Amino acid sequence: MGLFDFFKKKETTPVEQEALDKGLEKTKEGLFSKLTKAVIGKSTVDEEVLDELEEILVTSDVGVSTTLKIIERIEERVSRDKYVNTSELNGILRTEIQDLLAENNSSDFENFEYGSHKPYVIMVVGVNGVGKTTTIGKLAHKLKLTGSKVVLGAADTFRAAAVEQLKLWGERVNVRVVAQPMGSDPASVAFDTLQSAVANGEDVAIIDTAGRLHNKVALMNELTKIKNVMQKVVPGAPHEILLVLDASTGQNAIEQCKQFTQATDVNALALTKLDGTAKGGVVIGISDQFKIPVKYIGVGEGINDLQLFNKKEFVESLFK
């Protein structure tokens, strides 16, 4: 099975489903314990219940603008159906969130077109501490399971720890890592990685980049330089600019998404550490606000705990 088949095939296995359900436990507990309190003693969904619901969604890090859209949709439904009882609220909320996310111009992996790019180049961006290098390692592992040949480029040359961590992941998942001494030009590492990927006939090249640049202009310049150099080797590279965000930082993740989308052409998102937070609602907010596909979610520490994101399955798991 090739990389294309891996992305086309999206049937969640029981093990993956269990990991997703477990990874969303804290978010579910937070959301539903608050929701239950909001409707105690109420028989219908009235203005007071909607106000409570609005506060619950905002404090679950769904984000203000996305929350207002959801509330508006529920209000329309309440006025249309005249009588909506509180026991129906979970089902209505689930449906409205699913419908809202389905309207985004981003599709799940079933429709991911790998095309004929070889090597397929993924440039990974994000601030330090979000799980960037770990995500790269887990992604390399997933791709390798499909029979794809993968190479990693350690272009975060500002931190010795980042290079060492990537090398460790390379050893762990048995993929080649291209690295240079600390302080080397990141664009030079990216160039070397792609040249060797072409020479070795590798299917995917994943380039790690620095997460610590002091302002947006510096970040923009650095990433543009890396992109320009890569295009000299592989025209059209990178095919994917993957922004890694830590879901447990909630609204901070939304702010980081703003910064990075302004600095470079992010066209894919990975949200990590969902298992360690009650702020899983941020996935809904980010998916709605930025209209950039959330492609991967991290639901645990294990090597297999990076999953392809499916909007419908995510919301259904949240409301189980």
Check whether 275 is labelled as a binding-site residue: yes
Check whether 59 is labelled as a binding-site residue: no
Check whether 159 is labelled as a binding-site residue: no
Check whether 273 is labelled as a binding-site residue: yes
Check whether 128 is labelled as a binding-site residue: yes
As a whole number of angstroms, the distance between CA 129 and CA 273 comes to 11
Check whether 127 is labelled as a binding-site residue: yes
Check whether 130 is labelled as a binding-site residue: yes
Check whether 36 is labelled as a binding-site residue: no
Check whether 34 is labelled as a binding-site residue: no
Check whether 178 is labelled as a binding-site residue: no
Check whether 131 is labelled as a binding-site residue: yes
Query: In angstroms, what CA-CA distances link 83 with 94, 141, 242?
Result: 18, 51, 45
Check whether 30 is labelled as a binding-site residue: no
Check whether 210 is labelled as a binding-site residue: yes
Check whether 211 is labelled as a binding-site residue: yes
Check whether 212 is labelled as a binding-site residue: yes
Which parts are annotated binding residues? 126-133, 208-212, 272-275
Q: Per the annotation, where are the binding residues for GTP?
A: 126-133, 208-212, 272-275
